[in-house]
Amino acid sequence: MRDSSAVHRSNPVLDGLRVITACSTSHLARLRQPYRQRPFNSVELWAHKISDALARHPQGLERQRLIDETGLNTLQIERALTWIAEGQQDRGERG
């Protein structure tokens, strides 16, 4: 299921895909409903990829290493960092 908040830790091909397991067809339909209503946001996915990379490297990463770790380009990283900062401002966080 497409989900821009899902980042796979070991297989970047699966980034943006949420694995859903259900016990029946009707159960699967109920589980899928919230994701169908939620728009896919590429910038959100990029932000999660950056957060995941930084969580693996708490000492931080230089820009080129961040590019290598995430598979994102400079523009995508800049847009994602802006998205993260705007979200922190919306929540009243500093950082």
Per-residue pLDDT tens digits for 22-31: 999 999 999 9
- The amino acid sitting at 38 is R
On whether residue 68 sits in a domain, the answer given is yes
- In tens, the pLDDT along 36-66 reads 999 999 999 999 999 999 999 999 999 999 9
In a domain? residue 2: no
Q: Please tell me the total count of domains within the chain.
A: 1
Is residue 95 pLDDT above 60, yes or no? no
Instruction: State what percent of residues in the chain have pLDDT above 90.
Output: 78
Residue 27 lies in a domain: yes
Domain, as residue range, for 43: 12-90
First vs last C-alpha separation in the chain: 32
Please answer whether residues 31 and 20 qualify as being in contact, where contact means their C-beta atoms are separated by less than 8 angstroms. Answer: yes
pTM, rounded to two decimals: 0.82
| 7 within some domain | no
Residue 54 lies in a domain: yes
| Contact (CB, 8 A) for 5 and 48 | yes
